[in-house]
Amino acid sequence: MILMAEPTEKQKIGRLGEDIAVKYLENKGFLVIERNYLKKCGEIDVIAKKAGITHFIEVKSVTRENLGRNVSRYICLRSMQMGNQNGFLTQLPCKLILKLDGQA
């Protein structure tokens, strides 16, 4: 029998942020294909599709004080890294859109 550790407060907040993001996407007409898609190179929080376009979405739940340049930079770098390792950036036409939303 494997015992699962109780999620930390940070993990609970992260999960809540992902749940909110998924609801938002679904309300905007996206079809959520996968959550927490895990590969050797890392994890993609949400994969969703709309109008024939597949979107790879990284969700970050942070307080307003921490929302800024460092978070934006992390998301950009992480997205590029995931795309390069999976071949998305070289095999498919794509663009990276960084959108920061939310309130703390």
Q: Where are the domains of the chain?
A: 32-104
Q: Locate 76 and state its tokens.
A: 């950009």
Condensed to tens digits (0 to 9), the pLDDT of residues 34-48 reads 999 887 777 888 989
- Choice between 28 and 102, residue whose per-residue pLDDT is larger: 28
- Indicate the pLDDT class of residue 4, thresholds 50, 70 and 90: confident
Condensed to tens digits (0 to 9), the pLDDT of residues 48-73 reads 999 988 888 888 776 666 556 666 66
d(CA 99, CA 2): 39
Percent of the chain with pLDDT over 90: 16
Report the half-sphere exposure of 34 (CA within 13 A, side-chain side): 13
Give me the pLDDT at residue 101, please.
63
